[in-house]
Amino acid sequence: MKIVVLAGGTSSERAVSIVTGTEVCRALREKGHLAVLVDVFAGLEEQDPKELFSADYGLEETVSYIESWNDKIKDLSKSRKEFFGPYVLDICKCADMVFLALHGANGEDGKIQAAFDLFGIRYTGTGAMGSGMAMDKGITKQIFAAGGVPMPRGIMLWKGEGSCCLKDQGMDFPVVVKPCNGGSSIGVSIAADQASYEKALEEAFAWEDKIIVEDYIEGREFSVGVIDGEALPVIEIAPLKGFYDYKNKYEPGSAVETCPADLPEEKAREMQGYAKTGHRLLALKAYSRLDFMMGADGKVYCLEANTLPGMTPTSLLPQEAAALGMGFPELCEKLIEVSMEKYASDTGRHA
């Protein structure tokens, strides 16, 4: 297959996206596909998009080219109106499938999915509606509450509007403060007192105008992937220091990850059940990954749903698949296979 692995972009998770895209592209080429890595915002140098799909494609050179844009992206995104970089749409239209290796805003929030639906471009993962709902943690909380998926008690705050006093909201310390549409734990803080709370609000509002404040659940952290409606084995994440923030997620050796998690069978099934229900309630297609906390009392809380989870060989979803005997290249092909099912009918295409 001719596959475009779309990565990079303008979000705060650009660096993580490039790593995901590089590993996915390498794995797909190992499986014999004509996969190419493309930065959705930086685009391509002048060339015929059809000539990019070749057996002697230079992945490492492409990665170097994409990373050369890292220091320019912020300023360029302010001055350029067009989001898609040069030749991006042209090459995506030439591909049999676009593997979305994007994370965060303008990638995981449904905007690109909606554009691709209109252009008739096939892509991996869920559709525009599910992507948008899952990206917004406030909407996710409302939908999960109505559907019986437990989440930590929380509120939404808008910058400059309403009271930020916890007592006015019927809450008390400690709390977690996080951007409503962020990812990779960027801008997330745990506040144990008023001083740290005010600092956490400032940090979160620096990223977005709408944030979430919710009860801090002290306990064990887990994640459950869902592929084609079926839950993968539960993985436990135990940071060696602090909580599972950006550093602990991406710096090797910062956390101990155990899959399958050391849990009673009934508790693992409960978590997998909530993952499948959450996936369904958000109208997600193909695959997702849902994150959980389990308190000291054994109660399970869902934290969020990820529609384009990290995809390196050591990321959480690939580790869960590996517990079932599925290697990383095979997983990448599986995600393409289940994503193709969206296009079995016209109605599926726009799900």
Is the pLDDT assigned to residue 330 strictly greater than 60? yes
**CA-based max dimension of the chain:** 63
- 208 and 242: one domain? no
Does residue 138 form part of some domain?
no
- 260 and 171: one domain? no
**Which domain-ending residue is among 215, 235, 262?**
215
* Structure confidence at residue 128 (pLDDT): 97
Instruction: Assign 250 a pLDDT band (cuts: 50, 70, 90).
Output: very low
Count the domains in the chain. 3
Rounded distance between C-alpha atoms, residue 289 and residue 310, angstroms: 9
* Structure confidence at residue 12 (pLDDT): 84
Instruction: Assign 350 a pLDDT band (cuts: 50, 70, 90).
Output: very low
Is the pLDDT assigned to residue 347 strictly greater than 50? no
* Structure confidence at residue 182 (pLDDT): 65
- Domain CATH number, residue 78: 3.40.50.20
For the purposes of burial, counting CB atoms within 10 Å of the CB of 163, is it exposed (0-12), middle (13-18) or buried (19 or more)? exposed
Is the pLDDT assigned to residue 336 strictly greater than 80? yes
Does residue 350 form part of some domain?
no
* Structure confidence at residue 241 (pLDDT): 62
- 119 and 13: one domain? yes
User: Residue 228 CA to chain centroid, in angstroms?
Assistant: 17
- 193 and 236: one domain? no
What is the DSSP code string of 141-208?
Answer: HHHHHHHT-----EEEEETTBS---TGGGT--SSEEEEESS--TTTT-EEESSHHHHHHHHHHHHTT-
CB contact set of 47 (below 8 Å; sequence gap of 6+):
87
- Domain CATH number, residue 237: 3.30.470.20
Beta bridge partners of 258: 236
- 187 and 251: one domain? no
pLDDT one-digit tens code per residue, 204-228: 999 889 999 999 999 999 999 999 9
Whole-number percent of the chain with pLDDT over 70: 92
Question: Within a 10 A sphere around the Cβ of 225, how many other Cβ atoms?
Answer: 28
Range from 21-25, 92-96, 129-133, 345-349 carrying the lowest mean pLDDT? 345-349
The residue segments making up the domain with residue 188 are 153-215
Instruction: Assign 242 a pLDDT band (cuts: 50, 70, 90).
Output: low
Q: How does the average pLDDT of the chain come out, rounded?
A: 91
Is the pLDDT assigned to residue 349 strictly greater than 60? no
Is the pLDDT assigned to residue 332 strictly greater than 80? yes
* Structure confidence at residue 344 (pLDDT): 83
Pick the closest to residue 67 from 25, 14, 106, 107 (CA basis): 14
Helix (H, G, I), strand (E, B) or coil at 240: coil
- 227 and 336: one domain? yes
Element (H, E) at 113: helix 111-119
Does residue 349 form part of some domain?
no
Question: CA quadruple 23, 322, 133, 244: dihedral positive or negative?
Answer: negative
